Amino acid sequence: MTGIAVLDTLKVVTDTLSHTAAKSGDSGWIMHHVMDGKTIDFAPFGEFHVPQLPIIFGIDITPTKHVFFMWLAAIILIAVMTFVARSYKKSLIPKKFANFFEIIIVFVRDEIAKPTIGNSYEKFTPYLLSVFFFILFGNFLGLLPYSSTFTSNIGITATLAVFTFVMTQFGGIRQNGFFHYWKGLIPHGIPVWLLPLMIPVEFLGLLTKPFALAIRLFANMLAGHTVILALIGLIFFMKTIFVAPVSVGFALFIYLLEILVALVQAYVFTMLSSLFIGMAVHQDH
């Protein structure tokens, strides 16, 4: 009975995929899975349409697929961190679950914040921890079946990069004073006639850093999922089942690589944010 049900389900999946692949060009169904949309897919069991909200001032504020999963990650993050924080009220020695998170938190504090920012790193550690765990939870949530990676949305990564930019500027201004901070962006001891060239270059350099942060996270998370779907799509593209072992094997390999990438990208985003903050706070070196 269950065997037949599984076979039926498989047939529905293959039919749906090959139908979509035939209908919408070569890569339409991949884009449908990777990009943001107004439906949360539970193929082959149907899909969930997000309730539409009215358009306010010409802006559509309906929550999309990525927004839904971002809220989900935020709720999980708040629940987990509240649990971890509560466990310290019972005893200062953390138990199993809290101990695991203490290792990661201490890693972010001692290996990322302390060496790159130096003294006054305590002020920026809460922000770095928040952004690290938010990206980490988002990346791992995207690896679960039927979910969607919200960190592969350029809007969300750009917002995170803007947060880092604001933290960098405010941290630098608070430490060095407003005028001294802007003056310190230009290297010391350069000739006056170079200033018209150096000021635009340094200003562009200021904006390139958050831009690169946003593009890096977005492209890394998008690339892995696209490659997995393209490998699976090879089976339908070649219309033979003998490609399937190779395809599934490679897809599994990329999936395991994605677990590594999910960790590394959260680390890299936090590390570079911390580095930029450190460069703004201590301008003299």
Using the rule CB under 8 A, is 205 a contact of another protein?
A: no
Residues 17-56, mask of contacts with another protein (x by CB under 8 A): --------------x-------------------------
With contacts defined by CB under 8 A, how many residues of the chain interact with another protein? 15
Contact in structure between 228 and 10 (CB atoms under 8 Å): no
- Gyration radius of the chain's alpha carbons: 23
> Applying CB under 8 A, which of residues 267, 279, 282, 283 lies at the interface with another protein?
267
Smaller CB separation from another protein, 88 or 211 = 211
By 3-state DSSP, what share of the chain in percent is helix, strand and coil, each rounded to 5? 75, 5, 20
> Applying CB under 8 A, which of residues 85, 204, 260, 264 lies at the interface with another protein?
264
* Contact window for another protein (CB under 8 A) among 69-77, 161-169, 216-224, 239-247: 216-224
In which residue are the tokens 């290297």 written?
A: 187
Smaller CB separation from another protein, 98 or 222 = 222
> Applying CB under 8 A, which of residues 81, 275, 282, 283 lies at the interface with another protein?
275
Q: How far is CA 179 from CA 93, 131, 174, 183, 275, in A?
A: 46, 29, 11, 6, 22
The residues near 264 (Cβ < 8 Å, ≥ 6 apart) are none
Binders in 91-130 for another protein, by CB under 8 A: 111, 115
Quote the CA–CA distance of 155 and 174 in Å, as a whole number. Answer: 28
Smaller CB separation from another protein, 137 or 276 = 276
Using the rule CB under 8 A, is 223 a contact of another protein?
A: yes
* Contact window for another protein (CB under 8 A) among 16-24, 97-105, 126-134, 267-275: 267-275
Using the rule CB under 8 A, is 273 a contact of another protein?
A: no
Q: Please report, to the nearest 10 degrees, the dihedral formed by the alpha carbons of residues 196, 173, 162, 160 taken in order.
A: 140
> Applying CB under 8 A, which of residues 271, 277, 280, 281 lies at the interface with another protein?
271
> Applying CB under 8 A, which of residues 139, 164, 168, 220 lies at the interface with another protein?
220
Using the rule CB under 8 A, is 13 a contact of another protein?
A: no
> Applying CB under 8 A, which of residues 17, 30, 70, 272 lies at the interface with another protein?
272
Q: E strands, 8-113, where?
A: 39-41, 47-49, 55-56, 59-60
**Which DSSP symbol is given to 120?**
T
Q: E strands, the chain, where?
A: 39-41, 47-49, 55-56, 59-60
Q: E strands, 186-284, where?
A: none
Using the rule CB under 8 A, is 77 a contact of another protein?
A: no
Quote the CA–CA distance of 98 and 135 in Å, as a whole number. Answer: 19
Question: Site residues (CB under 8 A) for another protein?
Answer: 31, 111, 115, 212, 215-216, 219-220, 223, 264, 267-268, 271-272, 275
